[in-house]
Amino acid sequence: MEETGRTTHTLAALMELRKRILNGDFPGGTRLFEVALAETLQISRTPIREAMSRLAEEGLLDRLANGGFVVRSFTFADVLDAIELRGVLEGTAVRLAAERGAPADALQEVQDVLAQLDACFGSAPRDVDFEAYSDLNAQFHTLLTALSGSAVLQREIERATRLPFASPSAFLSGRTNIDVFRQSLQVAQEQHRALVAAISSREGTRAEFIAREHARIARRNLEYVILENPDLIEQVPGLALLNS
Amino acid sequence: MEETGRTTHTLAALMELRKRILNGDFPGGTRLFEVALAETLQISRTPIREAMSRLAEEGLLDRLANGGFVVRSFTFADVLDAIELRGVLEGTAVRLAAERGAPADALQEVQDVLAQLDACFGSAPRDVDFEAYSDLNAQFHTLLTALSGSAVLQREIERATRLPFASPSAFLSGRTNIDVFRQSLQVAQEQHRALVAAISSREGTRAEFIAREHARIARRNLEYVILENPDLIEQVPGLALLNS
DNA sequence: TTGACGTCGAATGTATACACTCCTCGTGTA
DNA sequence: TACACGAGGAGTGTATACATTCGACGTCAA
């Protein structure tokens, strides 16, 4: 993230507002007022404006026609669509990587992360180091998109992936104990391997297909988990902003 | 566009800066300073900041780590990638439209625009009403993406389409007299028809394929036109910001 | 010569006062 | 009752002064 640098009021407000939005303190459609937030956070309107502007960039806020911001409304269908979108974009990235030919050293780097991911799995099917897996998985996907050689695509993927819940594993893995979810990680890892293999052998179409399936499984898992445990929406910070 | 409303200094600065950037007044990599621009435009720093913030949203400016903005660098390869990306996204939209089944009235609306597009073509191969075609074409693509039924996807498509030159016909058609370009419009219109037909008959895979081919032709045309007429980069406003 | 250190300045961060706009609500009149 | 009009207030737009930060540059000493 970029907000590890200097601590300014703008960054503090940005993080605080993002936290509150994802936490569900402001339901979708809520209008945010500069003056009110300035009082709440004990700072002036200026950094509040700046922070809201950046949250609009991130897609968490919408600008109103005549000034002001409202919290963006996300439905459950939106979340599923975001995952599908991510699959399409990553699919394009790996297709391009295969078609254009990824540099050997970059490919090796991906292989290394892949091996590290393997190390997260223990002997039992449900024995997985979630914490490590999450981080490595994010790293894996980042390196993968970089293989495409398209700065434009990479940038848009980063954007789309930041949409709430575009990567369900990132926020579900550490917080739930649902078996179906744990076991799906084994499947995911299989796909990771197949993906890298397809890129290496320059099979663009196949790589794209696998990436899409990969996202589709993530999508289906989230769908399943939520439908089986509707109370998760209240429990998991970040899911609380859902409208429906 | 949204900037037809009330005329504020922020909007004035936004439009002026965007114009200058696209015009090539600020080459990619140029850092923009608040004070300097405030003096130039005879307004205070506040609306300048606001305008730059929005230009960062649009993807024309990049934020620097410790504050400030630089003009984003676009290479010719970036432009081609942006077109490819647009093809992928629109492809996804029409696939979803076909798979999920688009509402009949919305589909009819698309058919209407399709017919209007037909009316832009005269009897001779090169006899095309560019002005009308451009507007209708943009409208056609907008309606098409709306058929997907995915608000998230539609939003990201609008974003990606706003990237400079993601829709080459929009800025080339009215300004050039290149024959190959004129005739390609006939091909494009063929694809439009096939696209709508595929959606109507619920052939998602086929619809997606056509949309991608559609963008690929746009890409190839732009590539061809620019390589044959490198001086266009200087002549056409908006192309001037290219770095290489 | 090179490196550490301190000063200065340029540029952004922040606070705040004031201006403007739009919406709401009440009042008046037909 | 219905509608036009106008005042008031809520909220954002804008200007500006001041604070803060970071980097450039020069100085000094090893």
Judge whether A156 is closer than 8 Å to chain B, CB to CB.
Answer: yes
Probe site for chain B from A4, A46, A81 (most B CB atoms < 10 A):
A81
Given a cut of 60, whether residue B140 has pLDDT beyond it is yes
- Looking across all nucleic acid strands, the nucleotide with the smallest C1' to CA distance from residue A37 is D11
The per-residue pLDDT for range B172-205, each reduced to its tens digit, is 655 555 566 667 788 889 999 999 999 999 999 9
pLDDT of residue A240: 74
Rounded to whole angstroms, the distance from the CA of residue A178 to the C1' of nucleotide C3 is 58
Q: What is the largest CA-CA distance in chain A?
A: 59
In chain A, residues under CATH classification 1.10.10.10 are: 2-71
Q: At A171, is the pLDDT very low, low, confident or very high (cuts 50, 70, 90)?
A: low
Average model confidence (pLDDT) for chain A? Answer: 88
- Looking across all nucleic acid strands, the nucleotide with the smallest C1' to CA distance from residue A35 is D11
Which one is predicted more confidently, B8 or B134? B8
In this complex, the residue of A78, A155, A159 whose CB is nearest that of residue B151 is A78
Assigned CATH topology for domain B2-71: Arc Repressor Mutant, subunit A (1.10.10)
Judge whether A54 is closer than 8 Å to chain B, CB to CB.
Answer: yes
Q: At B36, is the pLDDT very low, low, confident or very high (cuts 50, 70, 90)?
A: very high
Nucleotides on chain C that have an atom closer than 7 A to a protein CB are: 11-17, 21-23
Interchain pair B152, A57: CB under 8 A = no
Judge whether A35 is closer than 8 Å to chain B, CB to CB.
Answer: no
Interchain pair A85, B78: CB under 8 A = no
Taking residues B223-228, report their average pLDDT.
82
Rounded CA-CA distance B29/A71 in Å is 33
Q: How far is CA B2 from CA A37, A66, A173, B190, in A?
A: 26, 10, 41, 32
Interchain pair B85, A151: CB under 8 A = no
In chain A, residues under CATH classification 1.20.120.530 are: 76-241
Which residues, in sequence order, are CB contacts of B19 under 8 Å at separation 6+?
A: none
CA atoms within 13 A on the CB side of B6: 7
ipTM of the complex: 0.89
The per-residue pLDDT for range A19-71, each reduced to its tens digit, is 999 988 999 999 999 999 999 999 999 999 999 999 999 999 999 999 999 99
pLDDT of residue A141: 95
Probe site for chain B from A7, A8, A152 (most B CB atoms < 10 A):
A152
The length of chain A is 244
Residues in B touching A150 (Cβ below 8 Å): 77, 81, 84-85
**Spatial strand order in the sheet of A31-32:** A31-32, A69-71, A61-63
Rounded CA-CA distance A152/A93 in Å is 10
Interchain pair B92, A88: CB under 8 A = yes
Give the closest residue to B178 by CA, choosing from B226, B122, B239, B119: B226
Which one is predicted more confidently, A81 or A222? A81
Judge whether A104 is closer than 8 Å to chain B, CB to CB.
Answer: no
Given a cut of 80, whether residue A100 has pLDDT beyond it is yes
B241 CA: distance to closest CA in chain A (Å)? 16
pLDDT of residue B1: 44
Interchain pair B152, A85: CB under 8 A = yes
In this complex, the residue of A88, A151, A159 whose CB is nearest that of residue B88 is A88
Q: Where are the beta strands (DSSP E) in B103-153?
A: none
Chain A with chain B: Cβ pairs closer than 8 A? 66
Query: What pTM does this model have?
Result: 0.91
| In contact, A86 and A162? CB cutoff 8 Å | no
Rounded CA-CA distance B46/B208 in Å is 45
| In contact, B56 and B49? CB cutoff 8 Å | no
Judge whether B88 is closer than 8 Å to chain A, CB to CB.
Answer: yes
How many other β-carbons are positioned within 10 Å of the β-carbon of residue A174? 11
Domain A76-241: which CATH class? mainly alpha
Give the closest residue to A141 by CA, choosing from A167, A120, A168: A167
Residues in A touching B89 (Cβ below 8 Å): 88
The per-residue pLDDT for range B81-94, each reduced to its tens digit, is 999 999 999 999 99
The amino acid occupying position B159 is R
B62 is near strand C: CB distance < 7 Å: no
The length of chain B is 244
Given a cut of 90, whether residue A90 has pLDDT beyond it is yes
Taking residues A89-107, report their average pLDDT.
96
DSSP letters, A201-227, are TT-HHHHHHHHHHHHHHHHHHHHHHHH
Which residues, in sequence order, are CB contacts of B120 under 8 Å at separation 6+?
A: B128, B129, B132, B133, B136
